[in-house]
Amino acid sequence: MDKILEVKGLSQVYGPGCDLCFTSTGPEFETNICPHCGSIVALHDLNFDLYKGEILGIMGESGSGKSTAVKCLYFDQIPYSGSALFFDETEQKRLFELNPAQRRSLRNHRFGMVYQNANLGLNFDISAGGNIAERLLMSQVMNYREIRERARELLARTEVLTERMDELPKNFSGGMQQRVQIAKALATRPPLLFLDEVTTGLDLSVQAKILDLILEIQSELNTAMIVVTHDLGVIRLLAGRTLVMKYGRVIERGLTDQILEDPQHAYTQQLVASAL
Amino acid sequence: MSNGINFAFLDEYAKREIRRSVIKAICIPGYQVPYSSREMPMGRGFGTGGLQLTLALIGVTDTVKVIDQGSDDSVNAVNLRKFIEMTCPGIATTTRLQEATLIQSRHRIPEQALRADQILVLQVPYPDALVIVEPSEDKRKVMHGEADYSRLLVKLYEDIVKFDEITISHRYPTRINDHYIIDPSPIPRYDVPKLHNSKALILFGAGREKKIYAVPPHCPAEPLAFDDVPFRIEDFTDSRGERRACKLCGSQESFLDEFIDEQGERVYQCSDSDYCEQQQELAHG
Amino acid sequence: MGYVAIKGGGRAIDGAADALELLRTRQGESGQPLDLETIEKQLYFLHSRILSEGGLYHPKLAALAIKQSLGDTLEASFALRAYRSTKPRLLETPVHDTTHMRLIRRISASFKDIPGGQMLGPTTDYALRLLRMELLNESQEQFQSVAKTLFTNLPIQAVPDSFPKVLDSLRAEGLLPKVNQAAREQPFDITREPLIFPVPRSAALATMARGETGSLLAIAYTNMRGYGDVHPTVAELRVGYLPVLLPHPITGELTEVGEVLMTECEVVAMYQDDDNKGLPTFTLGYGACFGHNEVKAISMAILDRALQKGMKDGAENPSEDPEFVLLHVDGIDSMGFASHYKMPHYVTFQSDMDRLRTTQQKQEASHE
Amino acid sequence: MTNKPLLMVENLSKTFFLHEQNKVIPSSSQVNLTVYAGKLTALIGPTGAGKSSVLKSIYRTYLPSSGRLLYESATGGILDLALALEHRILELRREEIGFVTQFLHTLPRQKTLDVVAMPLYRQGVNKQEGRARAAELLAELNIPERLWEVPPATFSGGEKQRVNLARGLIASPRLLLLDEPTASLDAETTDRVVALIQRKKEQGVGMLAIFHHADLVKRMADEVVELSVPVGS
For C138-159, how does the pLDDT look when each residue is reduced to its tens digit (9 = 90+)? Answer: 999 999 998 888 878 776 665 6
Residues of chain B with CATH 3.40.50.11310: 12-223
Find the mean pLDDT for residues A69-82.
96
> What is chain C's mean pLDDT, rounded?
87
Residue C326 resides in a domain:
yes
Q: What is the pLDDT of residue D2?
A: 54
C273 touches chain A (CB under 8 A): yes
Q: What is the pLDDT of residue C2?
A: 35
Q: What is the pLDDT of residue D65?
A: 95
A-side interface with D, Cβ within 8 Å? 1, 49, 51, 54, 208-209, 211-212, 215, 219, 236-237, 240-241, 253-255, 257-258, 261-262, 264-266, 269-270, 273
Number of domains in chain C: 2
C219 and C291 share one domain: yes
- Nearest chain A residue (CA) to B149: A138
Q: What is the pLDDT of residue B89?
A: 94
B30 is catalytic: yes
pLDDT in tens, B106-133: 999 999 999 999 999 999 999 999 999 9
Of how many residues is chain B composed? 285
DSSP state of A170: G
B63 closest CA partner among B72, C194, A102: B72
Q: What is the pLDDT of residue C10?
A: 78
Q: For chains A and D, count residue pairs whose Cβ atoms are closer than 8 Å.
A: 57
Q: Residue C338, Cα to own-chain centre: how many angstroms?
A: 20
pLDDT in tens, C299-319: 999 999 999 999 988 899 999
pLDDT in tens, D122-175: 888 888 999 999 999 999 888 999 999 998 888 888 888 889 889 988 988 999
Q: What is the pLDDT of residue C282?
A: 83
ipTM metric: 0.73
CA distance C76 to A202: 61
Find the mean pLDDT for residues C343-349.
84
pLDDT in tens, B201-246: 999 999 999 999 999 999 999 999 999 999 999 999 998 999 999 9
Q: What is the pLDDT of residue C272?
A: 67
All structural domains of chain A with their residue ranges: 3-110+190-275
Q: What is the pLDDT of residue C313?
A: 84
Interface test with A, best of D61, D95, D125 (most A CBs within 10 A): D61
C193 and C225 share one domain: yes
- Report whether pLDDT(D191) > 70: yes
The CA distance from A196 to the nearest CA of chain B, in Å, is 24
Q: Give the residues across from C200 on adjacent strands.
A: none
The CA distance from B145 to the nearest CA of chain A, in Å, is 8
Give the pLDDT band (50/70/90) at residue C1: very low
The larger pLDDT score, comparing residue C111 to residue A84, is at A84
- Report whether pLDDT(B62) > 50: yes
CA distance C224 to C236: 18
Query: From the CB coordinates, do chains D and C have 3 or more pairs under 8 Å?
Result: no
C146 and C247 share one domain: yes
- Residue C332: count of CB within 10 angstroms of its CB: 27
Find the mean pLDDT for residues B4-18.
90
- Report whether pLDDT(B2) > 50: no
B270 is catalytic: yes
B276 is catalytic: yes
Domain that holds residue C221: 98-122+141-334
> What is chain A's mean pLDDT, rounded?
92
CA distance C7 to C258: 51
- Report whether pLDDT(B4) > 90: no
C179 and C319 share one domain: yes
Q: What is the pLDDT of residue C368?
A: 67
pLDDT in tens, D103-126: 777 777 788 999 999 889 888 888
Q: What is the pLDDT of residue C184?
A: 66
Q: What percent of chain B shows pLDDT beyond 70? A: 98
Q: Which CATH number fits domain A3-110+190-275: 3.40.50.10490, 3.30.70.360, 3.20.20.10, 3.40.50.300?
A: 3.40.50.300
Determine whether the interchain pair C273/A37 forms a contact, defined as Cβ–Cβ distance below 8 Å. no
Give the pLDDT band (50/70/90) at residue C5: very low
Would you give the end-to-end CA distance of chain D in angstroms?
40
Question: Could you tell me the pTM of the whole model?
Answer: 0.79
SS3 at position C14: helix
CA atoms within 13 A on the CB side of C147: 9
C175 and C321 share one domain: yes
- Report whether pLDDT(C270) > 90: no
B219 is catalytic: no
D7 closest CA partner among D57, D58, D53: D58
With beta carbons less than 8 A apart as the criterion, state whether C21 and C33 touch. no
Give the pLDDT band (50/70/90) at residue A62: confident
Determine whether the interchain pair A137/B142 forms a contact, defined as Cβ–Cβ distance below 8 Å. no
Give the pLDDT band (50/70/90) at residue B83: very high
pLDDT in tens, D1-25: 457 899 999 999 999 999 989 999 9
- Report whether pLDDT(C275) > 80: no
CA distance B5 to B14: 14
- Report whether pLDDT(B80) > 90: yes
Least confident residue range of A18-22, A148-152, A202-206, C319-323: A202-206
Which CATH topology does B12-223 take? Rossmann fold (3.40.50)
Residue C19 resides in a domain:
no
Find the mean pLDDT for residues B177-198.
96
CA distance C68 to C47: 13
Give the pLDDT band (50/70/90) at residue C183: low
Query: Buried b vs exposed e over B177-197: b needs ≥16 C-beta within 10 Å?
Result: eeebbbbbbbbbbbbbbbbee
C257 and C312 share one domain: yes
The larger pLDDT score, comparing residue C59 to residue A221, is at C59
C177 and C257 share one domain: yes
